Structure 1
């Protein structure tokens, strides 16, 4: 029972050692591959697809004839009686013997050996309809697996980008804290020398505390994003080293294509659901028709009662060997047709119900298609805005950095107030935060567009 958890713990420990101790960088492609191999939902749907594939063979073998062998050896009496009877619920015996004028308890061994074949050779396409249902079900489950993989790739990529952004924010908050400490030290020295009021040093200490709190919040956000990525990868929540420099550039391929294709993994899955339902409608309609069958039976019997037992009730043997030895054989071959006419009434509501299900699935397909188109329009707008912010972010950071440097120099020389310096520090921190978010938003918008178009390769090939 404990082998799997221990193995899982060992693997997780090794990954933690390789990522934390050796500080190896986890690339986006490695994160995606790990998630595809470990995520439980993907494993489950892979098994469902394998089960559906096996069901195809089972459906094909439904066309084979039924061939059964039977053998029984019995011991009992054969008192017969004239009169009708019905073995209701199987509560009856098949003893055959003469109807004598009184009961007797003569008993002997008997045997029955039987071979039977029954083949529904023509069913108006019911067998082929079941095969088509099995094939459609397999395609549905296989594409369900593919769309789950596609969505998992998108989820992992989004979590990876969020972790990248969180790490960049942590780094920016660390730089902000370093700047706050520097200007606090300057304020303390100047206050001790009597160059500024003591309240300035207290105000500087407050700014350092504020910067430290912001850094702690950034680290908390980073750990939260790392935990989300770990869950999607099927691993324990641990720290990850990621390539933060990979999102500081603009993607080379921004995808000018704006067409939602029917080959989209999600739309393929929805279409397969419709196909399965339509095949079920076709199968239910074929239940209206009769079944043509071929059958054949060969039977061998043995009995301890003699053929003259009617006239001589002592003409039987209790020998087991003589009783079970075959003495009579019969065979029968034929062709038959069965048609349950009430099925015309019974199956009609089922056909109608399944047709409604097909129509409902079509509506769900249209809704999914509409949502993807809306997502594509949103992604286009987000990508455009993100690119504009990407261009403005360096300008904002440069201006804020120059302003902070100027205010810092003026403050050291007693030419400006602490309030002005603090404001420039706040402006620089906000500019760096906006830059980090702007870099990430470009890639998030590209990922959103990739998800809407159903083309993940264009996004992942950028890494």
Structure 2
């Protein structure tokens, strides 16, 4: 009794070891395929020019925020000048724009001889209080920064979807090439069998010619798929920035397993496209606030210290050498508050324009939410149907395989002609390819679902298991 129990355990252990030998390689390959896909996504994030451009734009927007924050820093200008000019002057008021002022008392007449002069000054201008204008400009710059970050997140998300989609296409074509190779092997076997039967006189000579034609067709089809595989790989290479990670590993176990239908717990509010829309609305609201703050008064503090030198003395005498050195020194401090009294009438059309732009961005956000909600429902339904089709597809393959083996035996026995064998072979090939495509559609539908839910982990958490 004890011996029989030990024997049974040994058999179970042997069976488990055999199963592990078959299962572990697939699990290892699946994990390696998942790791390579992760490498593709990371490479795309680091190398794809669009993503790099978005990152640089973020840095530029960060500098713009810093620039607006630096508005609190006073303006301090130091200047020194020398000149050679006439000293004719006249009293009275004149609007200073485009006119160079001349200091000093009025002259008795015109004297066109020039004399040298010099001046130096240190001027400080500071606006410590802007009644909310500066803060609104800083907040607007921060809003644009948040919009830029949301735009970067959406671009990265979309690029990751493109990369995964291209990777699925590449893995599908690789698996279909294996299916085509199996079909070529069947065609080669049928050709060899027909040649043997023709040589022995059991089949007519046209059979070998027909099977040879079929064999040639299958090889041509394989070349076409290999060309498509190369094109898909080039597309994938472009999507990750021009250089694929080393050691490409095709997940051959992917189309032997189906994803699981799970309830998505991701809120639509987390979708990158929604986040971008919200950031757009917030930025437009801040722009409107900044425009309305532009009519607020400004408090300006100023101070100056300056020196003057002139080749003309107080009594009107001319001594040119005195013009090259300073003779009088002055300072001044002051405060000014300015009110743009009529600016509100100038700004109102801009306010109305920005209000309409803000309202438009809100409607655009609602449109995005409406579209994504509809696409979520469609993607969920498509995923369910794709799973149902993928579960049924192997049944067709098993039937076609059984039929092909039976017809092949009947052909060998001389009961049917070559056309029936070729037709059964084509049906087997198509049903085997249909299984791969059905599994691909299931994974592709899961990717679409993850894309419309805004959470790629819905796909990545099942890939490679």
Provide TM-score, normalisation by structure 1: 0.87
User: Of 82, 100, 108, which residue of structure 2 is paired with 1:73?
Assistant: 82
Distance in 1 of aligned mates of 2:153 and 2:97:
53
Q: 1:246 aligns with which of 249, 254, 257?
A: 254
In structure 2, distance between residues paired with 1:242 and 1:257: 28
What's 1:185 paired with?
192
How many residue pairs end up in the alignment?
Answer: 430
Quote the Cα distance in structure 2 between the aligned partners of 1:372 and 1:195: 65
Q: 1:364 maps to which residue?
A: 364
Greater shift after overlay, 77-86 or 356-365? 77-86
Give the one of 259, 263, 271 matched to 2:270: 263
Question: Partner of 2:84: helix, strand, or coil?
Answer: strand
What SS does the aligned partner of 1:244 have? coil
How far residue 247 of structure 1 moved from its aligned partner, in angstroms, is 3.7
How far off its partner does 1:336 sit? 2.0
Question: Hey, what's the Cα distance between the residues in 1 that align with 2:234 and 2:368?
Answer: 30
> How far apart in 1 are the matches of 2:153 and 2:388?
35
Equivalent residue number for residue 445 of structure 2: 445
After superposition, give the CA deviation of every residue in 1:309-360 in whole Å (9 maximum; x if it has no partner).
2xxxxx33222xx323332223332222222333211111111111111111
1:36 is paired with a residue of what secondary structure? helix
Shift of 1:82: 4.9
Choose the corresponding residue for 1:318, options 311, 317, 320: 320
What pairs up with 1:39-438 in 2 under 5 angstroms? 39-82=48-91, 85-90=94-99, 92-100=100-108, 102-105=109-112, 107-235=114-242, 241-251=249-259, 254-257=261-264, 260-309=267-316, 315-319=317-321, 322-438=322-438
Q: Which one is further off, 326-335 or 163-172?
A: 326-335
Q: Any idea what the Cα deviations from partners look like across 1:181-229, whole Å, max 9, x if unmatched?
A: 2112222222233212222222222222222232122222212221221
Kindly tell me: are residues 211 and 130 of structure 1, through their superposed partners in 2, closer, same or farther at Cα, counting changes over 3 Å? same
- What is the CA deviation profile of residues 44-98 of structure 1, one whole-angstrom value per residue up to 9, with x for unaligned ones? 00000010011111011112222222221222331224566555524x3525354
* Kept in 2: contact 1:27–1:243 (CA 8 A): no
Q: Which residue of 1 aligns with 2:25?
A: none
Name segments (4+ residues, structure 1) moved above 4 Å. 82-88, 236-241
- Contact residue 260 and residue 452 of structure 1 kept, 8 A: no
| Higher mean displacement: 448-457 or 111-120 | 111-120
Deviation at 1:388, TM superposition (A): 1.4
Q: What's the CA shift for 1:306?
A: 1.9
**How far apart in 2 are the matches of 1:259 and 1:149?**
18
| Structure 2 segments unaligned to the other structure (5+ residues) | 1-31
* TM-score of the two chains, using structure 2 as the length reference: 0.86
Q: Which residue of 2 aligns with 1:16?
A: none
Distance 1:133 1:84 in 2: 42
Runs of 5+ in structure 1 lacking a partner? 1-23, 310-314
CA distance in 1, matches of 2:264, 2:366: 21
Alignment deviations for residues 82-128 of structure 1 (CA, whole Å, 9 cap, x no partner): 566555524x352535412x433554332222222222233221100
Looking at structure 2, the residues matched to 380 and 37 of structure 1 have their Cα atoms a distance apart, in angstroms, of: 32
8 Å CA contact 1:260–1:373 kept in 2: the answer is no
CA deviation vs aligned residue, 1:105-155 (integer Å, no higher than 9, x gap): 554332222222222233221100000011111111112111111111111
